[in-house]
Amino acid sequence: MSADAEAEPEVAPGRMRLMAVIIATALFMQNLDSTVIATALPAMARSFHAVPLHMSVALTSYLISLSVFIPASGWVADHFGARQVFRAAIVIFTIGSVLCGVAPNLLVLVAARIVQGLGGAMMLPVGRLLLLRSVSRAQMVAAMSWLTMPALIGPILGPPLGGFIVSYASWRWVFDINVPIGIIGAVAVSLFIPDVREEGRGGRLDLAGLVFSGLAMAFLMIGLETAGRHLVPALWTAGAFAAGALSCLGYALHARRVEHPVLDFSLLAIPTFASSVLAGSLFRVAVGALPFLLPLLLQLSFGYTPLQSGLVTFASAAGALLMKPAAQPVLERFGFRTVLIWNGVLASALMGVAAAFRPGWPSLVMDAILFTSGFFRSLQFTAFNTIAYGDVPRPRMSAATTLYSTIQQLTLTMGIVVGAFTLEISAALHGHATALRGDYDIAFLIVSAVAMLAAPLCAGLPRDAGAALSGHRASPARAGVTPRS
């Protein structure tokens, strides 16, 4: 049965918004956690007597954990119930937060972040699956906007809150604030979220595929994280890359022999899904680097306090939040293809403007640039995240959310690695012991160029791509059809 011919679920707009906001509690907690930690990294480095740039491992260890465990999320949700899994994920993430807050050293912190990643791996894809299974395709743009609006409050509150906590209390409190949020979220899921079930992937969990995919992503990320940074011997880094490549080959060979592989790459035969995955990955690599680069630039190069840094970097999240109500009318007016191409070019260029930031600039000027950048980046993410599922048959929705979420987290992880790696290489080439302002300029320009590569890929979409989601209809002339006389 085609996606267009499938029976569509009926849900009242008010009920849809309530479900989206409750599910977004988990995303709020994740985003608040990541942005608060980014602001607190220099203080955490001092506490653990570590080099600030090496503290990126506190971010990447969590993201690697997400990438390893997300592939199992669709199967777990299908077999144990999406609501039960989602609620358990919130509890595990909250426990991991408590362990992070009491970590005595960097090694224990990394282990606790891996526990957080286990919970986070189920929160995002399973929460998204709950919502997508509950709404019609015509409601998807609105549902995804409502899902991400509360989640964006996390990045708005995170930088100034993290700066305030680090300035006036202990950095350990940045993890403890997740506890009340997690409790409220788990209770709200129990009271208001139905356990929507559909026929998804059958059979047993593809355990061998999970092992291959997890090892591939973990080893590749470890290799990228340690390359050129003198954290471990060079031979270890080369070994990590080799093990990652072999695991990728092992998964490719294994996936051909099983009916329901843990990561179903046959979904890339759907053009809109493939475009969102491939082009969206380039864009996410760039965006993933920004929350790592900006706080370090402002605190280590400009001499800002953590609170001052947070008050500047929160502006991009405020712009992203303002955009969400505009997503539906913009996509209806211009269509997905036009938005993904031209908004992508503009959003990518605005990322590179950060290379022009200087210590003497007024904070309001940087705020305005970051606010505008956040607005257009958020529109790009809404378009990517919605059109990805527009043509996916409902029985394959859990497989699609699993694959999409895995690649999404992998590319965000790569963004942090690319940002840190660029700083390290630039500093080494210029003979600096640590990264200076010019090294940050190079890093911002590189991530902007990476994001810009997504636009040509989006140009391959048909003009009417995602029309059932946005309501946009290209004119006959624009669609390449000659009107009848």
Q: What is the pLDDT of residues 359-408, one digit of tens each?
A: 888 888 999 999 999 899 989 988 998 898 888 888 888 888 888 888 88
Split at pLDDT 50, 70, 90, the class of 201 is low
Q: How far apart are CA 405 and CA 388, in angstroms?
A: 11
pLDDT at 477 over 50: no
C-alpha distances out from residue 306 to 68, 177, 437, Å: 32, 18, 18
Identity at 376, one-letter amino acid code: F
Q: How far apart are CA 267 and CA 189, in angstroms?
A: 30
72 located within any domain: yes
| Percentage with pLDDT > 90 across the chain | 22
Q: How far apart are CA 360 and CA 292, in angstroms?
A: 22
Residues 403, 287: one domain?
yes
335 located within any domain: yes
Which of 261, 280, 300 terminates a domain? The answer is: 261
Residues 69, 218: one domain?
no
Contact 93/120 with Cβ under 8 angstroms?
Answer: yes
Q: Which two tokens stand for residue 62?
A: 């969590």
Q: How far apart are CA 42 and CA 434, in angstroms?
A: 14
Residues 31, 170: one domain?
yes
Residues 393, 428: one domain?
yes
CATH of the domain at 286: 1.20.1250.20
Q: What is the mean pLDDT of residues 410-424?
A: 80
Q: How far apart are CA 455 and CA 433, in angstroms?
A: 36
Range of lowest pLDDT (225-229, 282-286, 432-436): 225-229
Identity at 94, one-letter amino acid code: T
477 located within any domain: no
Q: What pLDDT is recorded for position 283?
A: 93
Residues 362, 240: one domain?
no
Domain that holds residue 242: 206-261
Residues 314, 391: one domain?
yes
Per the listing, tokens 């955490």 go with 44
162 located within any domain: yes
Residues 143, 160: one domain?
yes
Residues 102, 170: one domain?
yes
| pTM of the shown model | 0.75
199 located within any domain: no
480 located within any domain: no
Q: Which two tokens stand for residue 354?
A: 């950060």
DSSP 342: I
Q: What is the pLDDT of residues 67-115, one digit of tens each?
A: 788 888 888 888 888 889 999 999 999 999 999 989 888 889 989 999 9
Q: How far apart are CA 249 and CA 58, in angstroms?
A: 29
Q: How far apart are CA 373 and CA 338, in angstroms?
A: 18
Residues 268, 256: one domain?
no
Q: How far apart are CA 481 and CA 476, in angstroms?
A: 5
Nearest to 434 by CA among 229, 291, 292: 229
Q: What pLDDT is recorded for position 431?
A: 80
Q: What is the mean pLDDT of residues 215-237?
A: 77
Q: How far apart are CA 320 and CA 25, in angstroms?
A: 17
Residues 281, 421: one domain?
yes
479 located within any domain: no
pLDDT at 2 over 60: no
What is the total count of domains within the chain?
Answer: 2
Residues 102, 146: one domain?
yes
Contact 484/322 with Cβ under 8 angstroms?
Answer: no
Q: Which two tokens stand for residue 378?
A: 């958020």
Terminal C-alpha separation, the chain: 36
| Length of the chain counted residue by residue | 485
51 located within any domain: yes
Residues 128, 144: one domain?
yes
Query: Residues near 436 by Cβ (< 8 Å), separated by ≥ 6?
Result: 301, 427, 430
Contact 383/339 with Cβ under 8 angstroms?
Answer: yes
Q: Which two tokens stand for residue 293?
A: 């680069």
Q: What is the mean pLDDT of residues 230-258?
A: 87
Q: What is the torsion angle, in degrees rounded to the nearest 10, for the CA atoms of residue 19, residue 25, residue 31 and residue 36? A: 160
Q: How far apart are CA 455 and CA 343, in angstroms?
A: 9
Contact 63/117 with Cβ under 8 angstroms?
Answer: yes
C-alpha distances out from residue 40 to 65, 84, 160, 299, 362, Å: 21, 33, 10, 10, 23
C-alpha distances out from residue 151 to 73, 138, 362, Å: 20, 22, 29
